[in-house]
Amino acid sequence: MNETRPKQSNFIRDIVDADLESGKHLNIITRFPPEPNGYLHIGHAKSICLNFDTAEEKGGECHLRFDDTNPEKEEEEFIEAIKADVAWLGYSWGEHLYHASNYFDQLYQFAVELIQNGKAYVEDLTAEEIRTYRGTLTTPGKESPCRDRSIEDNLDLFERMRAGEFGNGEHVLRARIDMSSPNLNMRDPVLYRIRHANHPMTGDRWSIYPMYDFTHSLSDAIEGITHSLCTLEFEDHRPLYDWCIENVSAPSRPRQIEFSRLNLEYTVMSKRLLTQLVDQQQVEGWDDPRLPTLVGLRRRGFTPESIRLFINRVGVTKKDHTIQMSLLENSAREVLDQTTPRRLAVLDPIKVIIDNYPDGQSELLDAINHPNFPERGSRKIPFSKEIWIERADFMEEAPKKFFRLSPGREVRLRFAYLITCKEITKDSEGKIVTIHCDHDPASRGGNAPDGRKVKGTIHWVCAQHAVEATVRLYDRLFQVAHPLADPAEGFGQRLNPDSLKIIRNCKLEPGLEESAPESRFQFERLGYFCSDRHDHTPEHPVFNRIVPLRDSWSKIEKATPVKKK
């Protein structure tokens, strides 16, 4: 995949470059190792981009490997969704698609090797007792009564665990390291646990499953990974990562390097909390366009290019921080501004009748597809006596700086004519239902023949040929930038009640109903929109707003006083 924008230098690229220059590695191999127990979110996109880009830039390879060691939570649905997300972002793993379950036999033999060398033992204590024996950050742990069990007994028990003789939780296999280590991860961590569950890949062949730290490090070693890139929460796990590799006959010695995870304002990036939102039906599934999931962002209309641009701008550091949502939205605008054709749409329509336009007449006007790229051509749009305009583009009593339509005021119809409001009609409740105007026939194209200046330009849609559509206006999921800032207050109480507004009977220029799902457009003066990938049909067009033309939240944030603690 080629990016026109150069990649930013970072400390990980510096390490990789140094390893290549010194001859430590002749080829770079990275990996993206998701757990198939949910859908990926934009935080995962940072890891995807970093791992695939780092390998590609150096002529290496990046593996996609599923960490499928917990059969109780893993589903084929998640596996296929993850593959689709990585491919949508523009990356290819080629022949390098793996599962940790591919290595279960080798991992079992590594565990046997540890037992034979006196470095692992079968534990009888319960999970609660193991926690108690482990100690705290300020007090050392206490050795288990099982710690000095003979190698022969440990081998026998471990084989019986594998054979399914014991129930869940009756035994675990623990590494024999150091119960007084200041790093709690090194206080005889659990390497295997019993799980009588059907596995998506191996069925009921196994009754024991390896833990993450054991599996991850040795899977990296089996695959010959050179640089194991992971987020900062695994920094304290690195000694255990290295210990597992150093104490078995591993075929290679990968190096783990940590970087800060991606935290984003106005949303949550926890798989557990995202699952809660979905399960409690506070959103409409994993691909709800308000979620930070990649399937949600895709359905909303974000492009892979805008996600990669955002990730590149975020950069790679070791310092945890929260990224402004506006950076993601502005990355989308920058890409969409260059790539999307322009179209006319009216979301809150009010009828305009041009009284001096001939009855029964219609004409086709030229409308450019993109003002900055004339080579992209133009299209024909119909015009007739009756048109729709946005209700907000008319005011009966307009202030001085209101340059749109009002009684006696002249405005320009985009690509069409200059019109002047003559009168209005209202219903029995006093609501304006029709605006009557005259047009200047000599101003076709929108320019006055006598050179008079008209400040206001508004968009419109021909009433006779308008396409009716449903438009969904998506906004930020939460009302506050940091929805988890106050643990005492449930984050669900901070959901933005206006995060979705559904508008029916919107008026679109003809042809938009025929656009394929996931087609993106700029609706002039309104924002960037995408035809819904599931619900949009020619008979029932549905468009999702990706982002408005401008960031309206920045004004709200500046106007909101900061609470002092």
Q: Per-residue DSSP letters for 200-263?
A: TTTBTS-SEEE-HHHHHHHHHHHHT-SEEEEEGGGGGGHHHHHHHHHTTT-S---EEEEEPPPE
Tell me the C-alpha distance between 331 and 305, whole Å.
9
Beta-strand relationship, 467-474 and 542-548: parallel
**Confidence (pLDDT) at 488:** 66
CA distances from 345 to 372, 388, 390, 458, 461 (A): 20, 9, 9, 11, 6
pLDDT confidence of 400, banded at 50, 70, 90?
Answer: confident
Give catalytic status of residue 35 as yes or no.
yes
Give catalytic status of residue 261 as yes or no.
yes
User: Across residues 245-253, what is the average pLDDT?
Assistant: 97
Structural domains of the chain, with CATH: 104-212 (3.90.800.10), 261-344+473-507+523-565 (1.10.1160.10), 345-459 (2.40.240.10)
CA distances from 299 to 77, 85, 272, 318, 333 (A): 18, 12, 22, 32, 16
Angle between helices 76-88 and 42-57 (to 10 degrees): 60
Is a pLDDT exceeding 70 seen at residue 444? yes
pLDDT in tens, 75-113: 899 999 999 999 999 999 999 999 999 999 999 999 999
pLDDT in tens, 144-191: 999 999 999 999 999 999 999 999 999 999 999 999 999 999 999 999
Tell me the C-alpha distance between 241 and 501, whole Å.
48
Is 180 strand, coil or helix?
A: coil
pLDDT in tens, 311-345: 999 999 999 889 999 999 999 999 999 999 999 99
CA distances from 278 to 34, 85, 299, 490, 496 (A): 20, 19, 16, 16, 16
Exactly one of 7, 13, 35, 351 is catalytic; name it. 35
pLDDT confidence of 70, banded at 50, 70, 90?
Answer: very high
Is a pLDDT exceeding 70 seen at residue 564? no
Exactly one of 142, 195, 261, 351 is catalytic; name it. 261
**Confidence (pLDDT) at 560:** 45
Q: Which residue's structure tokens are 């640089």?
A: 227
Burial of 339 (0-12, 13-18, 19+ CB in 10 A): middle
Exactly one of 7, 119, 271, 414 is catalytic; name it. 271
Residue 439 phi, psi dihedral angles, 5° rounding: -115, 160
Give catalytic status of residue 193 as yes or no.
no
Nearest to 51 by CA among 251, 216, 231: 231
Is a pLDDT exceeding 80 seen at residue 552? no
Q: Positive or negative CA dihedral for 145, 147, 149, 153?
A: positive
